[in-house]
Structure 1
Amino acid sequence: MAKILNVQQLEKSYSSGSKRLKVLQDISFDIEERESFAIVGPSGSGKTTLLGLCAGLDQADSGRIELCGTDLSDLNEDERAVLRNRRVGFVFQDFQLLPTLTALENVAVPLELQGAKDAIKTGKELLEKVGLKDRMDHYPSQLSGGEQQRVALARAFSTKPSILFADEPTGNLDAVTGEKVVKLLFELNKEAGTTLVIVTHDLELAQKTQRILRLKGGRIISKETSAS
Structure 2
Amino acid sequence: MVKILNVHNLEKSYFSGSKKLNILKDISFSVKAQDTFAIVGPSGSGKTTLLGLCAGLDQPDSGIIELCNIETTSLTEDERAQLRNQKVGFIFQDFQLLPTLTALENVAVPLELQGDKQASKKATTLLEKVGLAKRLSHYPSQLSGGEQQRVALARAFSNSPTILFADEPTGNLDAETGDKVIQLLFDLNKELGTTLVIVTHDIELAKKTNHILKLKGGRIVEDTKLA
TM range (shorter): over 0.9
Per-residue CA deviations over 1:59-80 (Å, capped at 9, x if unaligned) read 0000000000100122100000
Q: Partners of 1:110 and 1:189 in 2: how far apart?
A: 19
Measured against aligned partners, the alpha-carbon deviations of 1:132-158 in whole angstroms (never above 9, x if no partner) come to: 011110111111000000000000001
The one-letter amino acid paired with 1:30 is S
1:103 aligns with 2:100: no
CA distance in 1, matches of 2:176, 2:219: 32
The correspondence of residues 1-228 of structure 1 with structure 2, limited to 5 A, is 1-226=1-226
Offset, 1:226: 2.3
Q: Deviations over 1:33-60 (max 9, x none)?
A: 1000000001000000000000000000
2:226 and 2:147 map into 1 onto residues whose CA distance is 29
After TM superposition, give the deviation of residue 4 of structure 1 in Å: 0.5
Identity within the alignment, %: 74
User: Matches of 1:205 and 1:141 in 2, distance apart?
Assistant: 28
Shift of 1:129: 0.8
Q: Which amino acid aligns with 1:72?
A: T
Separation in 1 of the partners of 2:115 and 2:32? 29
User: Alpha-carbon deviations, 1:158-217, whole Å to 9, x = none?
Assistant: 110000000000000000000000000000000000000000000000000000000000
Q: How far apart, in 1, do the equivalents of 2:144 and 2:181 lie? A: 12
- Counterpart Cα distance in 1 of 2:163 and 2:133: 26
Structure 2 CA distance for aligned equivalents of residues 225 and 12 of structure 1: 25
CA distance in 2, matches of 1:216, 1:172: 23
2: CA distance between counterparts of 1:180 and 1:171? Answer: 13
Tell me the secondary structure at the aligned position of residue 85 of structure 2: helix
Q: Which amino acid aligns with 1:155?
A: R
- Alignment partner of 1:134: what SS? coil
Letter in 1 for 2:121: K
SS at match of 1:133: coil
Q: TM-score, normalised by structure 2?
A: 0.99
SS state at 2:172 partner? coil
- Give the partner amino acid of 2:173: L
**How far apart, in 1, do the equivalents of 2:96 and 2:220 lie?**
29
The one-letter amino acid paired with 2:170 is: T
- Structure 2 residue runs of 5 or longer lacking an equivalent are none
Aligned with 2:134: secondary structure?
Answer: helix
How many residue pairs match? The answer is: 227
- Normalized against structure 1, the TM-score is what? 0.99
Q: Which amino acid in the other structure matches residue 58 of structure 2?
A: D
AA aligned to 1:78 is D
CA root-mean-square deviation: 0.7
Task: Report SS of the residue matched to 1:189.
Answer: helix
